[in-house]
Amino acid sequence: MRVAMFASEMVPYIKTGGLADVIGSLPRALAEKCNQIDVFIPYYREIERLKLPLKKLNINFNLKIGSRKYNGAVFKLITDLQNLTIYFIDNYHFFRRRSQLYIKDGYDYHDNLARFTFFCRGSLEVIKHLSSSGSYDIFHMHDWQTALIGLYAEISDFFQKNSPFRIYTIHNLAYQGKFSRSHFHILGIDSSYFDSLEYWGKFILMKAGILFSDIITTVSPTYAQEIQTKEYGVGLEKLLKQNRSKISGILNGVDYNIWNPETDRYIPSNYSIDDLSGKAICKTALQQHFLLTENPTIPILSVVSRLAWQKGMELVLKVVPKLLDQNKIQFVLLGTGDPKLEQQFNELSKKYPSKVGIALTYNDHLAHQIEAGADIFLMPSRYEPCGLNDKYSLRYGTIPVAFNTGGLADSIIDYSTDANRGTGFLFKTYDESHFISAIDKSLKIFQIEHEWEQIMLRGMLQDFSWQNSADAYFKLYQTRI
Ligand code: ADP
Ligand code: GLC
């Protein structure tokens, strides 16, 4: 089976969120089952700077995007896995930018539509060349940035002949790729397609993914159900309901080669279920890093997150000061995003310098150090398609306190409901009082050392390795007729 996977980010080359983690791991896990996996991602400036051992292929293409023509090229990276290859789609103008991947100064790039239209069409151009050595059985697209691949494959004579089976994975329904009608011509397709992609006078790329795929997946079983409801459907619930027979949820896995306290190279001391002593060393180091009072008995509550509406940080800002005033906790946060939230967290650290540590940057090493050094991880997400930090926290013995939604509901066992199996604390009504009561429960149990340790150990023993998820994707690939 030959698979082409398309995404806008991938660990270890480029990352803004969990999508990159998934694309870094899933193809590797699938490589054990499929004959060949080729991953297509844009050639961003950050990737150029990695100085990877790339080979520029003798494939050049020229695409008309809107009224202008753009040249494209492709770089090939052979990986340590013989049947996994990465192709980087290049256009200097679209991808080698100094600012972030999708935004500049807090706003989406004005030409995001053109950028990812180019990426989708360019990937297909490259695939046409690569198909001389055999056609692809599967096209697997992720999120709005690659949603057009299914549509382009549908209307292309070349791909109609080969007809790859198309899988579209929704990582976050709220990011839909919405553009105004006046930009539709950029897609370079017949205007009659506008109606299929239309949404309140604009058009949405995610609709192309939903309509022009054989199978749709989301990144947890609960989210697969939630997106079919008005509350979580972000306006697409009806369309998703109509397509429910092709929707399923597969929980993301965790790459335990990267996220594992036994082997983690970024933390000051390794530890395991057999010897937890290293976690205390990590905690002291974290308190030192943030210049907090060094005290092993004060619980550290933590957050590593994009600072976006989805993540419910307003709730953290309401609850944490109260706990700080009661001298119950210390608090550390690593995150970037909404400038208003960044400012509020800054103010919090100024008000409680010995109790609060805030890092408003993107720092992979520090993310590991927080997972290892903190006691409790807060995830009051309003919705969470899968969520990875809760699963990392479980492995690091850092007990999650989270809202009962999406992939959080699918991976955390609520201690308050089942004290013998509990691995964390879930609150089920989304408001301040229910969040604080879940944290309070966790703080009470934190004082009972042996009970807390049992919860930690149960969490650390959970297995979210990619193998199960890759099996589930492979089964879907095999449903190709
Ligand atoms: P989402 O993709 O919605 O942001 P996930 O929980 O799936 O949420 O994944 C977030 C990923 O991004 C995790 O690997 C997390 O450690 C990482 N991350 C988020 N913010 C930062 C940051 N400021 N610094 C380092 N890593 C971060
Ligand atoms: C999205 C979701 C997150 C998920 C990640 C990877 O960014 O917000 O919940 O874990 O994709 O699938």
Substitution site in 11, 302, 304 for ligand 1 pocket (most atoms within 8 Å of beta carbon):
304
- Whether the predicted pLDDT of 343 surpasses 70: yes
pLDDT recorded at residue 114: 98
Q: How confident is the model at residue 162 (pLDDT cuts 50, 70, 90)?
A: confident
pLDDT recorded at residue 426: 98
Q: How confident is the model at residue 299 (pLDDT cuts 50, 70, 90)?
A: very high
Instruction: Give the separation between CA 31 and CA 256, rounded to whole angstroms.
Output: 17
pLDDT recorded at residue 418: 97
Whether this prediction's pTM lies above 0.85 is answered by yes
pLDDT recorded at residue 379: 98
For residues 424-461, b (16+ Cβ closer than 10 Å) or e, as one string?
A: bbbbeebeeebbbebbbbbbebbeeeeebebbbebbbe
pLDDT recorded at residue 256: 96
Substitution site in 140, 171, 381 for ligand 2 pocket (most atoms within 8 Å of beta carbon):
171
Residues 198-224: pLDDT tens digits? 999 999 999 999 999 999 999 999 999
Residues 358-391: pLDDT tens digits? 999 999 999 999 999 999 999 999 999 999 999 9
Question: Ligand 1, closest atom to CA 335?
Answer: 23
Query: Topology of domain 277-460, per CATH?
Result: Rossmann fold (3.40.50)
Q: How confident is the model at residue 182 (pLDDT cuts 50, 70, 90)?
A: very high
- Whether the predicted pLDDT of 121 surpasses 80: yes
DSSP 209-268: HHHT-SEEEESSHHHHHHTTSTTTSTT-HHHHHHTGGGEEE----B-TTTS-TTT-SSSS
Ligand 2 site, CB within 6 A: 17-19, 22, 171-172, 219, 252, 384-388, 407
Question: Ligand 2, closest atom to CA 252?
Answer: 12
pLDDT recorded at residue 235: 96
Residues 252-264: pLDDT tens digits? 999 999 999 999 9
Strand partners, 76: 55, 87
Residues 52-86: pLDDT tens digits? 999 999 999 999 999 999 999 999 999 999 999 99
Instruction: Give the separation between CA 444 and CA 167, rounded to whole angstroms.
Output: 46
Residues 403-418: pLDDT tens digits? 999 999 999 999 999 9
Distance 258 CA to ligand 2 centre (A): 17
pLDDT recorded at residue 163: 84
**Quick one: how many helices (H) and strands (E) in the chain?**
19, 21
Substitution site in 341, 389, 394, 469 for ligand 1 pocket (most atoms within 8 Å of beta carbon):
389
Counting residues of the chain whose pLDDT is more than 70, the rounded percentage is 100
Distance 138 CA to ligand 1 centre (A): 28
- Whether the predicted pLDDT of 48 surpasses 90: yes
DSSP 397-439: T-EEEEES-HHHHHHPPBTTT-TTT--BEEE-S-SHHHHHHHH
* Domain 2-253+466-478 matches domain 277-460 at the CATH topology level: yes
Distance 393 CA to ligand 1 centre (A): 12
- The mean predicted confidence, pLDDT, of the chain is 96
Distance 17 CA to ligand 2 centre (A): 7
Residues 266-278: pLDDT tens digits? 999 999 999 999 9
Distance 18 CA to ligand 1 centre (A): 6
- Whether the predicted pLDDT of 141 surpasses 80: yes
Query: Which CATH superfamily groups domain 2-253+466-478?
Result: Glycogen Phosphorylase B; (3.40.50.2000)
* Average pLDDT of the residues in 312-316: 98
User: Where along the chain do its domains lie?
Assistant: 2-253+466-478, 277-460
Question: Ligand 1, closest atom to CA 15?
Answer: 12
Instruction: Give the separation between CA 60 and CA 71, rounded to whole angstroms.
Output: 7
Which amino acid makes up residue 11?
A: V
Residues 3-47: pLDDT tens digits? 999 999 999 999 999 999 999 999 999 999 999 999 999 999 999
pLDDT recorded at residue 53: 97
Q: How confident is the model at residue 351 (pLDDT cuts 50, 70, 90)?
A: very high
- Whether the predicted pLDDT of 133 surpasses 80: no
Q: How confident is the model at residue 481 (pLDDT cuts 50, 70, 90)?
A: low
